[in-house]
Amino acid sequence: MTLKRFGSQTVNIDELEGYLYTHLEECWYKAGKTLGWKGNSTGIGIAKDIVDYAASKWLNIAVTVGSNPHWFIFDAEEWKKICEANKWIYQVDHDKIIYVLPWSMLKKV
């Protein structure tokens, strides 16, 4: 397993198993309202540079959120395609963009 830093976030990469592992302090509770989803869906946002990197290496993204002990997994290339096609992209500040999926789309393992 390899550690890689993206800005202030460090991820673990296991290219043999095909995963990029990361942790978020919390989900984005108002993602649905902000991005125009039906209802007030909770979202999971991953930095664009992390999604781009994982997609370029054909990795799955595995994320834990807060104190939840479960991993949530999604194919990075699909994450990127879905977010770009639906414009589920959020500019956090002048140099940080996140790709956001509804939490319900991720597979819990």
Q: Tens digit of pLDDT for each residue in 44-64? A: 999 999 999 999 999 999 999
Closest to 29 measured CA to CA, from 17, 44, 13, 16: 44
Q: Positive or negative CA dihedral for 27, 28, 31, 32? A: positive
Q: Tens digit of pLDDT for each residue in 3-33? A: 999 988 899 999 999 999 999 999 999 999 8
Write down the mean pLDDT value for the chain: 93
Supply the pLDDT for residue 6.
Answer: 93
Work out the average pLDDT over 88-107.
92
pTM comes to: 0.92
